[in-house]
Amino acid sequence: MTDHRFSDAQREGLYRAIHERRDVRSQFLPDPIAPDVLARLLHAAHHAPSVGFMQPWDFVVIDSIEIKRAVKALYDDANADAAHNYSGDRAAQYRRLKLEGIVDSPINLCITCDRQRGGPHVLGRNTMLDADLFSTCLAVQNLWLAARAEGIGVGWVSIVDPSRLAETLGLPEQVYPLAYLCLGHVSEFLPKPELEMVGWRSRLPLEQLLHGNTWDGAVQDDSLLSAIRES
């Protein structure tokens, strides 16, 4: 069997980036991101896989304080609406959470999805029409892992109305603002996801999420189950 593995150190770095990646909200520093670092992050995102190699993403790099403040206002509106989903102690806890770093971070980045790129018939998209959105999510993940390796924090602002965001950024009609990200150097990377640390939710045990062959089937490979428990 041909061994195409990375070196031990390279594999360790990859898995470290995966396990130590965080959604950053409160730890941003004002220090600028060096252009060569930002370029590497954008190249990493652009090398994501995509259905039919359609590469549906574009990258709106935002350093204007006016645009940031406009997006922050959109967030404030959406966040006020979202708070009504909770009551009692949960509502009070929600209102204490800091869920964005729009103005705090030196760079905001909107990764968009052009839903018409590649024409009306994109290879591999005949039945799963949202595969372009899935592809763009892979670009986000590529950038996020590369950012962790570079020591750059990333926070995804999902509490914002996409149609109002598209209008604010002047996006064409067929372009969807899939991810609004905050990027910057940070004071620290938290040891666990922030929502886990404050008791909002905990990570689900992997064993509870495994199915064998069908949804109702159990995984029968005891060696796999043992490896999962030990890892």
pLDDT in tens, 7-61: 999 999 999 999 999 999 999 999 999 999 999 999 999 999 999 999 999 999 9
| pLDDT value of residue 20 | 98
CA–CA distance from 7 to each of 40, 148, 195, 228 (Å)?
A: 22, 19, 34, 22
- Give me the architecture of the 17-200 domain, per CATH: 3-Layer(aba) Sandwich (3.40)
Secondary structure of residue 39 in the 3-state scheme: helix
Instruction: Note the pLDDT of residue 231.
Output: 87
Segments in the chain below pLDDT 50: none
Q: CA 190, CA 101: separation in Å to the nearest integer?
A: 15
Q: Could you tell me where in the chain the CATH 3.40.109.10 domains are found?
A: 17-200
Write the CA distances from 131 to 123, 194, 224, integer angstroms: 11, 30, 30
Write down the pLDDT at residue 1: 79
Residue with tokens 């995984």: 219
The CA-CA-CA angle for residues 149, 160, 165, to 5°, reads 95
What pLDDT is attached to residue 56? 98
Nearest partner of 132 among 113, 160, 151, judged by Cα: 113
**Would you state the pLDDT for residue 83?**
96
Whole-structure pTM value: 0.96
